[in-house]
């Protein structure tokens, strides 16, 4: 029955539009039913991202409030919520109605891990010197960083210090938890450390001749070599050297790349000079102190005599070189022109004037060169009678002619010779013999006059053997010029040329011995550094050093007489000689003269004002040697131990004591010398006269300074002296 009623009620409800049912669920009297929460959609866009990226979540729902978890993000239906999950995340949208049950829906956002990245990887500085340090800084993400070589763990943005020894490429590797690592490189360029020298010393720094020193170099970053000797050296390891002379050693440290560096150390060798006072050599003559004078320069010039006196000049040769074979004393003329004809010479060259104004007041010993080449009319060969008459006239003028040489350099084709066979040794020799020959006629004019002939060892064609075997003579005359123009060398002139004279003198002695005349005196009638076109050397310290040694060599060799070419009358400027920068000197003029003619003058118009008679460097050498070349004294033998290249020594007895002539031929370095005397350990007085490069250098300012003189007082021997660079020193020991 109850089921029937229920059906009836259901039917009624349907007919009433659910009013009955509604009334049954609501309050009595009826109302609106509560809506149910619903979710239409909940989506993620995109559903797949990379860590660090963002995704939009959109939920469409009704009848409730929306919350998205995780995050508890309140959301409105249809609105966008942006999220950035770092891992795959399930998001849940919960829609909760005002009453009743909430509804949910999920969406999954799949997050892939972010790939590793490197923003930067740099070295600062990028270039270092070996031994230096640089920093490597890496900025990266999404992985662990390691730098190789070295496997250095690194934090992004934190510098790491490295000190590579060679250029190195460093690699930063950033490795993610999963996936592929990434890399980036940075190169550190390592330049070799520059070479360095901490020290380079000689121990001891001063040694005796024959001694040794140790050179020790402390250096780094290169290979070391010591010169001279090209000695390979290890840093800190000593090398023993035994220099014969004071030597500047140079250490050169050369890196694998780059520029080498150097440092020097000097080993001073105390060169010893020993004088054997019991070894008496050839007698000495002041006739070594001679000058040529020529007819073209006024012999009455007032400056000549005081200049000669200052330089100690004792001898003179007249009338002057090749001019002699054209000069005729009686008429004071010279054969010149084509055809040859007499031409007047310098008016004051009249012999009587020369005798009165120069020879006699100067106390000069005179040698004449007889005209062999031409007669007085310039039409035939020289006449012995002319030479004999000259000797007679000289005697009448109060001049005792000590030497007459037959002709000048007649072995050479450059000499005037009007004989049928010119410059012929047999013709020349025959002219000296017989009652009408030069020898007999000159001896008849003055029995004290010595008659000589010209020699030139090694001449081509042969000359000396023929002349020496056939001619009649008391002495021989030789001319010495060791250099050709344009080929001058300071090293040769200063260190070798003078010794070549001794070699030649020995050759002449051998020739005389072969001719049966071994004791014949040798007269060096002309001496100079270059045989024509004189240049820079002739006004320089270099020729002075040559001249001083030449005087010493001739003294040792027993040369009986010498006359330098030329006293006065031969200036020339740079247009006519060798003024190369390779030659040392300050002057733009030169010349054969060793005393100033009084510049400027003809041939030297551009020269500075140098008063007539001023002693040029070569004259200074004569001035010093005049204290040694004294009549009645004898040569003493010397020996040099140590620097035999730069130190030369000559010695002689000297007024009861001894005289030494010491040369330092080193241009740049002073030379300490220990002087020992074989028979003397003390001296009551030692004086030192010096002419040096430093004194000569004053001429750069046109100051022609004199030698210096130092009195050392009483001294004991051995005695150490320091010789200035490029210097001639005369030491007088009482």
Element (H, E) at 284: none
Q: Please tell me the distance from the alpha carbon of residue 579 to that of residue 581, in angstroms, as a whole number.
A: 7
Q: Please tell me the distance from the alpha carbon of residue 648 to that of residue 246, in angstroms, as a whole number.
A: 14
Q: Please tell me the distance from the alpha carbon of residue 366 to that of residue 293, in angstroms, as a whole number.
A: 11
Q: Look up residue 522 and give its two tokens.
A: 């040798």
User: Does the pTM exceed 0.85?
Assistant: no
Q: What does the buried/exposed string (b/e) look like for 638-675 if buried means 16 or more CB atoms within 10 Å of the residue's CB?
A: bebbbbeebbbbbbbbbeebbbbbbbbbbbebebbbbb
Q: Please tell me the distance from the alpha carbon of residue 234 to that of residue 47, in angstroms, as a whole number.
A: 75
Residues 6+ apart with CB under 8 A from 262: 197, 250, 251, 252, 253
The answer to whether residues 271 and 671 touch, using CB atoms and an 8 Å cutoff, is yes
CA distances, 679 to each of 278, 555, 682 (Å): 7, 22, 10
Q: How many other CB atoms are there within 10 angstroms of residue 511's CB atom? A: 20
Q: Please tell me the distance from the alpha carbon of residue 113 to that of residue 136, in angstroms, as a whole number.
A: 27
The parts of the chain modelled with pLDDT lower than 70 are 1-32
Residues 6+ apart with CB under 8 A from 134: 123, 124, 125, 126, 128, 161, 162, 163, 164, 188
The answer to whether residues 346 and 295 touch, using CB atoms and an 8 Å cutoff, is yes
What φ, ψ does residue 445 adopt, rounded to 5°?
Answer: -75, -35
Q: Look up residue 572 and give its two tokens.
A: 């020339």
CA 531 to the chain's CA centroid: 31
pLDDT value at residue 43:
97
pLDDT value at residue 33:
74
Q: Please tell me the distance from the alpha carbon of residue 562 to that of residue 559, in angstroms, as a whole number.
A: 7
Any idea what DSSP says for residue 37?
P
Burial class (CB in 10 A: 0-12, 13-18, 19+), 439: buried
pLDDT value at residue 576:
85
Give the residue carrying structure tokens 């030192």.
688
Residues 6+ apart with CB under 8 A from 11: none
The answer to whether residues 425 and 415 touch, using CB atoms and an 8 Å cutoff, is no
pLDDT value at residue 31:
58
Crossing angle of helices 497-514/541-557, nearest 10°?
30
Q: Look up residue 345 and give its two tokens.
A: 């010479």
Q: Residue 134: helix, strand or coil by DSSP?
A: strand
CA distances, 219 to each of 213, 443, 456, 657, 677 (Å): 19, 78, 59, 53, 45
Q: Please tell me the distance from the alpha carbon of residue 65 to that of residue 79, in angstroms, as a whole number.
A: 12
pLDDT tens-digit profile of 91-100? 999 999 999 9
The answer to whether residues 578 and 533 touch, using CB atoms and an 8 Å cutoff, is yes
Domains in the chain, please, with CATH? Answer: 1-33 (no CATH), 38-112 (2.60.40.10), 117-191 (2.60.40)
The answer to whether residues 591 and 564 touch, using CB atoms and an 8 Å cutoff, is no
Residues 6+ apart with CB under 8 A from 589: 539, 571, 572, 573, 574, 599, 604, 606, 607
Omega into 46 within 30° of 0, i.e. cis? yes
Q: Please tell me the distance from the alpha carbon of residue 693 to that of residue 339, in angstroms, as a whole number.
A: 49
What φ, ψ does residue 9 adopt, rounded to 5°?
Answer: -65, -40
Q: Please tell me the distance from the alpha carbon of residue 553 to that of residue 727, in angstroms, as a whole number.
A: 17
pLDDT value at residue 48:
95
Q: Please tell me the distance from the alpha carbon of residue 569 to that of residue 558, in angstroms, as a whole number.
A: 29
CA 6 to the chain's CA centroid: 138
What φ, ψ does residue 61 adopt, rounded to 5°?
Answer: -150, 175
Q: Please tell me the distance from the alpha carbon of residue 291 to that of residue 297, in angstroms, as a whole number.
A: 13
Beta-strand ranges (E) seen in 194-314 are: 196-203, 206-208, 213-220, 223-227, 231-233, 239-241, 247-254, 261-283, 290-292
Q: Residue 658: helix, strand or coil by DSSP?
A: strand
Q: Please tell me the distance from the alpha carbon of residue 401 to that of residue 360, in angstroms, as a whole number.
A: 12
Q: Residue 704: helix, strand or coil by DSSP?
A: coil
Q: Residue 353: helix, strand or coil by DSSP?
A: helix
């Amino acid at each position: 029955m109850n089921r029937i009623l229920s059906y009836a009620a259901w039917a009624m409800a349907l007919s009433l539009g659910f009013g009955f049912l509604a009334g049954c669920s609501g309050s009595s009297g009826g109302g609106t039913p509560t809506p149910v929460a619903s979710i239409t959609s909940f989506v993620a866009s995109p559903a797949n991202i990379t860590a660090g990226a963002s995704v939009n979540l959109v939920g469409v729902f009704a009848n409730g409030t929306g919350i998205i978890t995780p995050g508890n993000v309140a959301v409105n239906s249809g609105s966008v919520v942006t999220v950035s999950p770092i891992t795959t995340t399930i998001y849940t949208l919960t829609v909760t109605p005002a009453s009743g049950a909430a509804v949910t829906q999920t969406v999954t956002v799949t997050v892939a891990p972010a790939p590793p990245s490197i923003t930067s990887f740099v070295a600062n500085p990028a270039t270092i010197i070996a031994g230096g340090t640089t920093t490597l800084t890496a900025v990266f993400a999404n992985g662990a960083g390691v730098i190789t070589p070295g496997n250095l763990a690194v934090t992004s943005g934190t510098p790491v210090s490295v000190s590579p020894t060679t250029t190195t490429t460093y690699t930063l590797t950033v490795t993610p938890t999963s996936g592929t690592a990434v890399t980036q490189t940075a190169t550190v360029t390592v330049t070799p450390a520059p070479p360095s020298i901490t020290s380079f010393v000689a121990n001891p720094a001063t040694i005796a001749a024959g001694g040794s020193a140790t050179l020790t170099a402390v250096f780094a970053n290169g290979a070391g070599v010591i010169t001279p000797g090209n000695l390979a050296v290890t840093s800190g390891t000593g090398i023993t050297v035994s220099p014969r002379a004071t030597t500047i050693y140079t250490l050169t440290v050369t890196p694998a790349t780059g520029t080498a560096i150097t440092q020097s150390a000097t080993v001073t060798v105390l060169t010893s000079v020993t004088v054997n006072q019991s070894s008496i050599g050839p007698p000495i003559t002041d006739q070594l102190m001679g000058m040529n004078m020529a007819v073209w320069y006024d012999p009455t010039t007032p400056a000549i005599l005081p200049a000669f006196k200052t330089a100690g000049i004792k001898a003179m040769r007249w009338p002057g070189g090749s001019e002699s074979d054209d000069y005729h004393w009686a008429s004071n003329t010279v054969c010149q022109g084509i055809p040859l004809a007499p031409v007047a010479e310098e008016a004051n060259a009249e012999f009587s004037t020369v005798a009165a104004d120069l020879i006699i007041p100067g106390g000069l010993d005179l040698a004449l060169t007889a005209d062999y080449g031409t007669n007085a009319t310039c039409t035939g060969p020289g006449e012995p009678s002319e030479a004999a008459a000259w000797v007679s006239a000289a005697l009448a003028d109060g001049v005792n002619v000590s030497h007459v040489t037959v002709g000048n350099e007649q072995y050479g084709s450059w000499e005037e010779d009007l004989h049928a066979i010119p410059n012929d040794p047999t013709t020349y020799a025959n002219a000296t013999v017989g009652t009408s020959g030069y020898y007999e006629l000159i001896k008849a004019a003055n029995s004290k006059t010595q008659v000589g002939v010209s020699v030139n060892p090694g001449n081509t064609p042969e000359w000396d053997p023929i002349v020496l075997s056939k001619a009649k003579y008391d002495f021989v005359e030789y001319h010495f010029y060791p250099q050709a123009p344009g080929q001058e060398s300071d090293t040769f002139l200063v260190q070798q040329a003078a010794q070549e004279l001794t070699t030649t003198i020995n050759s002449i002695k051998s020739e005389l011995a072969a001719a049966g005349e071994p004791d014949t005196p040798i007269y060096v009638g002309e001496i100079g550094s270059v045989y024509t076109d004189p240049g820079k050397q002739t006004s320089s310290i270099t020729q002075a050093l040559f001249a001083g040694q030449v005087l010493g060599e001739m003294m040792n060799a027993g040369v009986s007489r010498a006359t330098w070419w030329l006293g006065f009358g031969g200036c020339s400027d740079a247009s006519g000689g060798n003024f190369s920068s390779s030659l040392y000197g300050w002057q733009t003029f030169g010349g054969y003269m060793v005393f100033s003619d009084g510049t400027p003058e003809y041939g030297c118009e551009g020269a500075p004002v140098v008063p007539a008679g001023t002693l040029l460097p070569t004259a200074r050498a004569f001035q010093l040697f005049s204290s040694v070349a004294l009549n009645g004294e004898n040569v003493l033998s010397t020996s040099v131990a140590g620097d035999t290249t730069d130190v030369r020594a000559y010695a002689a007895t000297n007024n009861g004591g001894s005289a030494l002539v010491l040369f330092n031929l080193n241009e740049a370095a002073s030379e300490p010398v220990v002087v020992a005397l074989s028979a003397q350990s003390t001296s009551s007085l030692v004086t030192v006269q010096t002419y040096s490069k430093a004194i000569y250098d004053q001429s750069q300012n046109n100051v022609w300074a004199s030698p210096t003189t130092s009195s050392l007082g009483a001294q004991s021997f051995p005695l150490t002296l320091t010789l200035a660079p490029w210097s001639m020193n005369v030491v007088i020991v009482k």
